[in-house]
Amino acid sequence: MSRTSARELAYLALFSNQFRKIDCTDEVLLQLADGQPVANKDLEFVKQLVSGVIEHQEELRAIVERNISGYTLDRLHTADLVVLLLCTYELKYLKTPTSVAINEAVNLAKKYSEPKGAGFVNSVLNKINQELTNEQ
């Protein structure tokens, strides 16, 4: 499984968690993988992403909300919100290069969001990246 696929699996787990709280056990993640083989290192990466977003959700939501001009979190498409939370976690807490994290997030938005979602996600994540860079 590639890092791209691992991020998609994390996205699916977090998206599901928005509607009903799930335990991110290996079994649940493997069910979400839908038969795709998942190496242990990839499973650990997925769990790190999912647990990190859940653990820091309040902070991540606040960062996203500060950077979505003219919107509130309640008005966001759920797919966009999950992508934004996931990427914001990667930008803030992991050593993922900015261009990789944002590109992966935009690709998830292209796949799971509304037609204009990818552009919206890209714009918001660039603002978030600027905010996080200024904090350092």
Range of the domain at 101: 3-135
How far apart (Å, rounded) are the C-alpha atoms in residues 124 and 84? 8
Q: In terms of Cα–Cα distance, which of 60, 72, 70, 55 is closest to 128? A: 60
Name the pLDDT band for 136 (thresholds 50, 70, 90): confident
State the pLDDT at residue 56. Answer: 96
What is the average pLDDT across 48-61? 94
Taking the C-alpha atoms of 103, 104, 108 and 110 in order, what is their torsion angle to the nearest 10 degrees?
20
60, 88 Cβ separation under 8 angstroms? yes
Determine the Cα–Cα distance for residues 58 and 2; give it in Å rounded to an integer: 29
Q: What is the CATH number of the domain that holds 63?
A: 1.10.940.10
**C-alpha–C-alpha distance, residues 127 and 120, integer Å:** 11
Tell me the pTM. 0.90
CA distance 121 to 129: 12
